[in-house]
């Protein structure tokens, strides 16, 4: 008696199905942005840069390189036909990441940023301009971010050293 399913056929079918499901659920980013501009706080300004990788499947943005936001953080973004909007809430004072980040360049050139609690960003999808607000725990404005963003081809990014 010969059954329609052989063990080899079943294994092949499962392997093909697993490859299809794995490829469909892979965490690939579909848009890479490189932004450059100015961060302004209390009358002082400083050059700022931000590189983001955006994923449409779950609306996540990965901070790849920046002197404005902590590298490696993932932000949830809301896409609209006009803009991508993002909100970053800093961790409460006393946590390791908050302390290490605020001991960096920002606090040296602008002490008011020690009160930083929230960063709101909006990237205009039509002209590529980024506007952001730096807010304290009472949602009072501490500073602003203005940048111009360009789409970057991921194949043109420099290869990693390690």
82 pLDDT more than 80: yes
Task: Determine, yes or no, domain membership for 62.
Answer: yes
User: What CATH number is given to the structural domain containing 75?
Assistant: 2.40.160
pLDDT band at 34 (very low <50, low <70, confident <90, very high): very high
pLDDT one-digit tens code per residue, 89-106: 876 654 444 444 555 554
Task: Determine, yes or no, domain membership for 11.
Answer: no
53 pLDDT more than 90: yes
Over the range 127-142, which residues count as b (16 or more CB within 10 Å of their CB) and which as e? eebbebebbeeeeeeb
Question: What does each C-alpha distance from 73 to 23, 40, 123, 159 come to in angstroms?
Answer: 24, 22, 18, 21
Domain ranges, residue 110: 29-153
Task: Determine, yes or no, domain membership for 104.
Answer: yes
User: Hey, how many other C-beta atoms are within 10 angstroms of the C-beta on 18?
Assistant: 10
Would the pTM count as exceeding 0.95? no
Task: Determine, yes or no, domain membership for 4.
Answer: no
pLDDT one-digit tens code per residue, 122-142: 999 999 999 999 998 889 999
Task: Determine, yes or no, domain membership for 13.
Answer: no
Number of domains the chain contains: 1
């Amino acid at each position: 008696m010969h059954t329609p399913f052989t063990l080899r056929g079943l294994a092949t079918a499962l392997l093909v199905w697993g490859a299809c499901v794995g490829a469909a659920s892979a965490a690939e980013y579909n848009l890479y942005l490189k932004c450059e501009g100015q961060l302004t706080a209390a009358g002082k300004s400083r050059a700022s840069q931000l590189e983001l990788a955006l994923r449409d499947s779950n609306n996540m943005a990965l901070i790849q390189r920046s002197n404005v936001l902590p590298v490696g953080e993932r932000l949830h973004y809301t896409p609209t036909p006009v803009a991508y909007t993002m909100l970053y809430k800093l961790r409460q004072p006393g946590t390791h990441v908050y302390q290490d980040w605020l001991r960096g360049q920002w606090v040296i050139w602008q002490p008011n940023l020690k009160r930083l609690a929230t960063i709101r960003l909006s990237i205009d999808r039509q002209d590529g301009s980024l506007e952001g607000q730096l807010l304290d725990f009472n949602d009072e404005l501490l500073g602003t971010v203005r940048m111009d963003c360009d789409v970057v081809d991921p194949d043109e990014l420099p290869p990693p050293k390690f």
